[in-house]
Amino acid sequence: MLPRHGRLWRALLLVSLATLVVTGCDFFRPARLTVTPATAYVDLSAGPRSAVFTVRNDGPARSRLEWAFTSSSLTAYPAAGTLAGGGAQEVVVALPASAGVGTFTGDFAADDTSVPIILVSYVDVACEPELAFAAQASAADEVLVGYRDDVGGLGLTRSSASDAAAAVVVAAGGTVIRRGLGSEHDLVRAPPGGRDALIDALRRRPEVAYAVPNAPISRAAAPNDPFYDRQWNLSAFGAEPAWSVVDAATPPAEVVVAVIDDGVAVDHPDFAGALLPGWDVFDGDGDVRNCTDHGTHVAGIVVAARGDAVGVAGAASTPWVRVLPVKAWPNTADATATTTLDAVTRAMRWAGGLSVAGLPANPNPAQVINMSLGTSSGGTSTAFATVIDELEALGVVVVAAAGNAGTGALDQPAGSGAIAVGSVDHDYLRSTFSNFGPGLTLMAPGGYAPSGSTCPAITSTGIDYFSGTATHTWTCKAGTSMATPYAAAAAALLMGVEPEYRGDPDAVEARLAGTAALLRPPGYDAEAYGAGVLCLDALLTTTSVCGTPVAP
């Protein structure tokens, strides 16, 4: 039997051990540094040029944490401190006075733990709907009128052919809205309820090549870049071997890819140096920004800066590929808003360097035009095909989305002579939403990611719209809209690395299709997959196909 004082010490020991168990053995748990948020945004157009981060010690109450902030460009107030377990400290992190739009980094450190943070500076985009958007309601009565190339054989000039068509319009009670230049169409308005009758009357004129409704057009929807691990559409489709070829090539003449869409966030930090001055065909000026992010997402798939420690990488991210933004949509925050056949065909002409009534000459004509848009209206085919033929005669490659209805017929202009691109998922199988059928050229990644991915589809540059402003960010989308810029980027890289393809759209299409044929999924058939699945490495190397080595 223990002496009384021995029993007392044993009781105290047992109580102490019980306390340790109840408290989770706090004596043995270290301090733990956490910082929120991981990324903060600063609007340069208003308010303070700083953001607030919260530093916490998530360790036990008896722990002690000494932290400090380090950065080559940012300043913190306070820059260091001490926190007991469960304590928190708000820290103001400020941009330098000279900072413009961009991404800045810093680290909160304690002992052997470091927590990185990102501060993104941006300029808000105000959403002011344009008058042209309000005018869309009248587009239902509008008609595009194109003229035959050989009007001279009818004893007419382009001007007199237009006069003859205008007489038909006026006689029907309609009006001429705008006369085109050269081979450009005229735009006329039929009297209410009289559009179909006017189209029939115009089509009977010998000088008229086509008269079609102004149909609505819809949007078809290992660098150190922090979101590259989400970009299966690049890593699993041969981007890295292709980039090795691109980076080793002697820098060629610039290749311009026009993105005809709803606008591009030109101040997005992932577009630094990658964009040319574009044009807004609605507002008649050079401001191509908008509060919807479809065009921004598309442009990022082409040229988002690679290896800049910001956001994502573009498939054709190299200094000699640049995007020309051409805005063919009105300013709106409505992601479902449509544009018109008139606006898109005028945008196509301007992008390729053709003359367009009322628009200035394009100083940077595109070698590739990306059209992640479309309509199921087959009546638009003639108007689209006419412009595509003219562009291809100039040496311009036109790439268009097959459409997202999952049907066996392509949208226009994909079905009007453009390189028609459908979408596959991460497993190289056709995305269920992707249109297919006769005329499909090839497939590219635009669908769904592997299970468990942070983004279930395609990650690229984007905009978050709220409370009247739009903030630059990175967004997740699926659609043939996302597959199309991958193909446009491939065409641009091919023309740069192998300049003999520049100015030869037929040869570019043949090369894209020929190398896509190297990957044909199980159950392949031409109407479902076109030539096959486009892999950047198969296009530019002979050593691998979508990352799989090719036997010598």
pTM of the model: 0.75
In this structure, the answer to whether residues 135 and 119 fall within a common structural domain is no
Does any domain span residue 340? yes
In this structure, the answer to whether residues 319 and 360 fall within a common structural domain is yes
**8-state DSSP, 266:** T
The whole-angstrom separation of Cα 370 and Cα 219 is 12
The whole-angstrom separation of Cα 265 and Cα 472 is 7
In this structure, the answer to whether residues 71 and 200 fall within a common structural domain is no
**8-state DSSP, 221:** -
- Give how far Cα 326 sits from Cα of 57, 258, 275, 371, 415, Å: 50, 7, 11, 10, 22
Please measure the distance between the N-terminal and C-terminal CA atoms of the chain and give it in whole angstroms. Answer: 85
Taking alpha carbons only, the member of 408, 429, 432, 411 closest to residue 420 is 411
Does any domain span residue 514? yes
Domain boundary at 88, 107, 123, which? Answer: 123
The three-point CA angle 332-337-339 to 5° equals 100
- Give how far Cα 394 sits from Cα of 297, 300, 354, 414, 474, Å: 28, 26, 9, 19, 35
Q: How do strand 339-340 and strand 216-219 relate by DSSP bridges?
A: antiparallel
Domain boundary at 199, 214, 229, which? Answer: 214
In this structure, the answer to whether residues 338 and 389 fall within a common structural domain is yes
- In this predicted structure, what is the pLDDT of residue 4? 52
In this structure, the answer to whether residues 92 and 78 fall within a common structural domain is yes
In this structure, the answer to whether residues 164 and 310 fall within a common structural domain is no
pLDDT tens column, 115-127 = 888 887 776 655 5
Q: Which two tokens stand for residue 193?
A: 């309820």
| The pLDDT of residue 29 is above 70 | no
CA 297 to chain centre: 2
Does any domain span residue 12? no
The whole-angstrom separation of Cα 323 and Cα 249 is 20
In this structure, the answer to whether residues 104 and 159 fall within a common structural domain is no
Which structural domain range is residue 112 located in? 27-123
Q: Which two tokens stand for residue 261?
A: 């869409």
In this structure, the answer to whether residues 458 and 345 fall within a common structural domain is yes
Taking alpha carbons only, the member of 237, 399, 367, 231 closest to residue 306 is 231
Does any domain span residue 2? no
Answer whether 404's CB lies under 8 Å from 425's CB.
no
- At a CB cut-off of 8 Å and minimum separation 6, what does 12 contact? none
- At a CB cut-off of 8 Å and minimum separation 6, what does 13 contact? none
In this structure, the answer to whether residues 202 and 267 fall within a common structural domain is no
Question: Among 289-298, 366-375, 383-392, 463-472, which stretch is predicted with the lowest mean pLDDT?
Answer: 463-472
Answer whether 208's CB lies under 8 Å from 145's CB.
yes
Strands (E), 202-330: 208-213, 216-219, 255-261, 279-280, 321-327
| The pLDDT of residue 66 is above 60 | yes
- The SS3 of residue 201 is helix
Q: What CATH number corresponds to the domain at position 457?
A: 3.40.50.200
Q: What CATH number corresponds to the domain at position 95?
A: 2.60.40.10
Answer whether 123's CB lies under 8 Å from 289's CB.
no
Q: Which two tokens stand for residue 71?
A: 């950065």
Does any domain span residue 5? no
In this structure, the answer to whether residues 193 and 257 fall within a common structural domain is no
pLDDT tens column, 155-170 = 889 999 999 999 999 9
Domain boundary at 214, 233, 255, which? Answer: 214
- The SS3 of residue 546 is coil
Q: Which two tokens stand for residue 466?
A: 């709220």
Helix (H) or strand (E) holding 133: helix 131-134
- Higher-scoring residue by pLDDT: 366, 469: 366
Q: What average pLDDT does the chain have?
A: 86
- Give how far Cα 514 sits from Cα of 183, 341, 494, 527, 538, Å: 33, 32, 13, 16, 10
- In this predicted structure, what is the pLDDT of residue 153? 84
The three-point CA angle 504-509-511 to 5° equals 95
- In this predicted structure, what is the pLDDT of residue 131? 43
Q: Which two tokens stand for residue 7?
A: 């029993």
Question: Three-state SS string across 398-452, please?
Answer: EEEECCCCCCCCCCECHHHCCEEEEEECCCCCECCCCCCCCCCCEEEECCCCCCC
- In this predicted structure, what is the pLDDT of residue 135? 45
* Side-chain-side CA neighbours of residue 540 (13 Å): 30
- In this predicted structure, what is the pLDDT of residue 118? 81
Does any domain span residue 499? yes
Does any domain span residue 327? yes
In this structure, the answer to whether residues 255 and 370 fall within a common structural domain is yes
- In this predicted structure, what is the pLDDT of residue 126? 57
Q: What CATH number corresponds to the domain at position 191?
A: 3.30.70.80
pLDDT tens column, 268-288 = 888 888 999 999 998 888 989
The whole-angstrom separation of Cα 279 and Cα 360 is 9
Classify residue 85 as left (phi > 0), alpha (psi -120 to 50) or beta: beta
Split into its structural domains, the chain has a count of 3
Strands (E), 153-297: 175-178, 186-189, 208-213, 216-219, 255-261, 279-280
pLDDT tens column, 416-458 = 999 999 999 999 999 999 999 999 999 999 999 888 888 888 8
CA 290 to chain centre: 13
Does any domain span residue 364? yes
Answer whether 542's CB lies under 8 Å from 548's CB.
no
Helix (H) or strand (E) holding 113: strand 113-122
The whole-angstrom separation of Cα 157 and Cα 163 is 10
Mean pLDDT, residues 397-415 taken together? 96
In this structure, the answer to whether residues 282 and 320 fall within a common structural domain is yes
Q: What is the number of residues in the chain? A: 552
Cross-strand pairs, 280: 285, 327
Cross-strand pairs, 126: 469
Question: Among 39-43, 148-152, 244-248, which stretch is predicted with the lowest mean pLDDT?
Answer: 39-43
